Each structure stands twice: as C-alpha cells, then as structure tokens.
Structure 1
Amino acid sequence: MTEIQADKLAELQAVRAPAIGGRLARWRMALGNAWHELRKSRTASIGAVMLVLLFGACIATPWITTYDPIKQNYRERLQPPSEKHLLGTDRMGRDIYTRLLYGGRRLVAIALLAVTFGLSVGIPYGVLSGYFGGKVDTVAMRFIDGLLAFPGLLFYLLVVTLAREWKIEGIANDAVLVFALGFAFMPEVARLSRGTVLAEKQKEYVEASRAVGDGSLSIALRQILPNIISPLIVNATVRLGYVILIVAALSFLGLGTPPPTPDWGSDLAAARDYMETAPLIAAFPGLAICYTVLAFNLFGDGLRDILDPRLAER
C-alpha cells in the first residue's frame, strides 16, 4: 500500500468512526429528548395523550369492567346510559362499555401486529434492493409494482373470504387478517425504504465502511438502516389508523370476526336497525373508531414535524 493510499484509508476510517459513534449518540440523545420534543409539538402531545389513554384502557380492561362482553341479558336490552351500565346496553342486553373495551383491545392488537409484520418484511426487502441495485433492484421492484397494482381492498376481501370458506375461526381468523393487512402494507414500506437507501448509500460513511472491508449486509442493515428509520416510523404510525379503519370496515360488511366476539365494526352494523329508537348504540362504536384513528394520525403528524428537519425549522 502506497503512502497516498494509506492516508486515504486513514481519512475514510476517521469518517466511519464518527458515523458509528455519532449514530449511537444520536439515538441516545433522541431517546433522552423524546418527551421534550413531544411537548414542543402540540399535535404530537395531544396524539400521545390520546394513545396513552387508549392503550391504558386496553391493558386494564379486565380490571375496569366486571361484565361479560358476550353474555346476553334480554331483560336489560337497549338500556340508556346509567350508573349500572355507563354507556347503556345493546339489542341483546350486553354492556356497551365492556364491548367497546374488549373490541378495542382486539382491534388495536390486530393493527399493531399487521403493521409490525409489514415493517419486518418490507424494510429488509427495500433496504437490500436499494443497496445492491442493478438487476437485483430491477427484479425486486417489478414484483413490488405488481403487488401495488392489485387493489388492496380486493386482496383483503379475497383472503378473508377464503378464510371463511375454509372454516378458519377465532385466533386463526385474526392471524389470517394480520397476514393480509401486513402483506398489503409491505410494498409501500419496501418502496419507501428503497428510496431513502438510494440517497443514503452515496454518503461518505458508507464509502468508508466499504473501504475498511465491512460486508454488504452489515453496511445495509447495521449502518444505513438506522439512519433511514425516521420516515418509516412516521409512515407506520399513520398506517395504524388506516389499518384500524380497514378492520372495522371488513367487520361492518360482515367479513370480520363473526359474532358474538366484541368488534366495533360489527357492533356498528348491528346497530343500524335501531338508529331511530336507540341511536347511542351506534354512536359509541363510531366514536371509538374516530377517536382511535384520530389519535394515531395526530401522533404520526406530530412525529413527522419533529423528525423532519425542514418542518422543525418552520
């Protein structure tokens, strides 16, 4: 190795060392200042408070209600809100407050698992496709284009209908729904991660890592990926609200989990015949859906404002 080459390698190592150490420092600083940044963004703060209340209610459901969400009591059907039943009872005498809590617990779990599945498949797919480029990227993206060309709603309907034809019920039915929603989300994540990797891989720290002999997988997943995670987090947060709407819509159409399992969409559909005599039994599930979607959207918009330097400067 010549003296010039040695000097060049030393410069690259100097660039690479701060990149790795700086990245860890940035993560620590981000975690330490997360609450401070959330307080600066009114949108993110409101969304965060709403999500804390939502998750707290989902976790504490068995302790904050004593009613069975499935057990019917026709003697108390269509009761208005009272001290005994905080939100009243539905057409079968079941406590609406209890069904909302258990239905929200299931709905949020499905949304979180579906988005996590989409991220766990789409991020590595997009990162590796964008990093290697060439024919690998061309073939990988044509497959993604084919998935994006297929309407997502038709894919959900196809998978859910097949699950019902095959007599898949209970937890297995929810697993099928998680797979369908996550797989439909995967192409969007793959495209977003690929686009950010194409810009990131031209930077000096990536060149430095190649120069010192780091493997391609190590560079792509251990160094580039942490630097592109911000837009992916924002996208996933907003996507959670969309997934909740899809699950509720499928249940409303009768393609979700069959009764008597608590479900906001199916409860809303069942309440249509009582809109004039007991409108509250339709209002409460609808308000629960609106609240949840709004919470995720507000928090996602706030995160975008915090994580995007251009918006932060404004």
Structure 2
Amino acid sequence: MTTMKEIAQATGVSVSTVSLVVNGRDQGRVKPDIAERVRAQAKRMGYQPNPLASSLRTSHTRILGFISEEVATTPYAGGIIMGAQDAAARLGYMLITVSTDGVAEEGRQITALKRYGVDGFLYAKMYNRITDLPRALTTLPVVVANARERTGRVPSISPDEFQIGFDATQRLLEAGCQRIAYVGDQDPILAQGIRFKGYQAALKAAGRRCDPALVANVGFNQQALNGVEALVERASPDGFFCFNDARAWYVYEAAARRGLAIGRDWSVVGVDNHRVFAETLAPRLTTIELPHYEMGYWAACKLVSLIEGRELDPARAPDTTAPLPPLNAANPTSIHCQLLEKDSVAAQPRLGE
C-alpha cells in the first residue's frame, strides 16, 4: 500500500504538501504545477486514501445518514436514494440509508446513525409536504428532500408543484383543447392544491375561465372511475390534466367505453412518469416526471457543502432530466419538472383547421 511518505520521496516535496494535495486542500497553499506533479505521481503509484486515518485527523467520518419515510419501498421515489448515493460517491462520502415507519422507529434510527458518527443527515419524505424536523436531527447539518421544513431555517428541495400544473395545462392549450378538465386527488395534500393553482393560472393566462364543472377530485378504484365518468357526462372535456399517472388510467378507461381515441379525440397529461403506467398505457402517456433523482443529488451536494463549508457545483450530475438549481438558491428550493412528450396529446392544430 503506497503511503504519502513514499509519494513525497518520489516527487521531492514534504509529506505535508502531499497531504494537502491528496486531500483536496492544496488550493492557495501549493503551487499548481507542484500539486499536479504530486497528483500524477500518486496516480502512478496507485495511492488510495485511508478513510479511517482521515476521519481521525479531521473528526469527519465522510458518512452521510439518509432517513427516509417509506422512500426505499416506493418504486419511483427510490430515485432520491440513487441520486443522493451518486452525489455522495462523487464527493468522497458514503451513504447509509434507513427507512422508518413511525415516530419511535425514526428516533431509534437517528440515534443508531449518530453512533456511526455521521457528518450530517438527509431527511426525505415519500411525497411533498410541509414537515417538522425531528429534534434529534438539530445537532448536525441536515437537508430535507421532497418536502419543505416548516420553519424555513433548514435547506430543503421539492418539486415546483405550481409549474407542474401550469406546464401540463399549457401543453393542452397548445394542442388546441377547448375544455380542459382537472382530475385531481380527493385528499387535501400539498401538491393537490398547488398543482390546481397552476392549472387555474394557465387558463387565466390564456383568457379562459376555470369552470368548476370541469374539476373532479377523486380517489381510486370504482369511486374514481365513477367520478371521471360523471365529469365527462356533465362537462364534455376534450383535454385532461391528471394529478398523477394513476388517475390518467380512468380517463383512458372512460375514452375506451365511448370508442374515443386518446391522442386524437381526447388529450391527456399525467404526472410522475410512473414506470408501471408508462409501460402499460397505450398510447403512451405524456407526463411530467417528478425529479426524484435530481432532488437526491442536489440534497447530498447541499449537505456536503454545509459540512465542508465550501461551494460545490451540483450541475455536474450525470444523466438528469430536470436542470438542477444552484446550491445557493432561495430556500425552500424548488426544481422545475420536465414534461416528457409521448403520444397522448393531439398534434397541434394547423391554421385554418
């Protein structure tokens, strides 16, 4: 195993200089040409840093704790973990993930992670909401993902729910839809109300009024199908913005019962890009993808920047659909979600048609 002393001997510099370079603390302390020579020599000699030795010197373990509420068991929300893990690895940190199912369990998991000496916490929720931070997390740096911390003092990132509603409705307006329905969630969760406001704002910007007859907030199963059927009968919509992809299924079913074609007679936009519906519905559903991977990646970068007290660039994230906001964005931070064009929205009408 190559040591810093061996690298120092090979390059003719002091061990302290090698230490600064291999630990990324050489800027402003070591001449750039010397630092580059040390890095090149360390690479040739196969130098690998010793995390335990580093933690003893710096009092940092380079371990991040990830506290999730059922996120690990949610197919698409699990992307938050993947994003956080990728960012942590790029920045030289390890991520320990635990999933909680209640207040008591959450407290035990936080205590266990503290015993490992984690440098900070990521606190994630299964869906966007306003949340209270557990008291046990207040002693270390923490960033909230897929939720907003109630006091506004803790950095958080969540989807731009208003823009989701606006963009989905705008896409239906561009397709020439004259009567755009909103198929929402009957539960008064945070995203429901804000997406509906985005829907209303897009209609108003286009000089349209929001017709209450075109709004149906539904649950699931037969009750949801009945609600969509009633909406269609009373209001004759030709475009549908659905709170999520699951509710878009009921619109597809209502169209099939009438012999109508999605993407021709009716246009539909969902939210989630849920894998099950994305691979099942025909024609494929145009949808707005929730940026779970991006939120996890941004949150981990933000947490490391708090731990190390330095600026980082989250824009280097690989393979992201939505653009990442800067780490110094206003708190709470929102991320613009990407509309994925597929086949469920009618082609834009030509002039004169």
TM-score (norm 2): 0.25
Q: Using CA pairs below 8 Å that are at least 6 residues apart, which structure has the higher relative contact order?
A: 1
Identify the structure with the greater strand proportion: 2
Give the structure with the larger helix fraction.
1
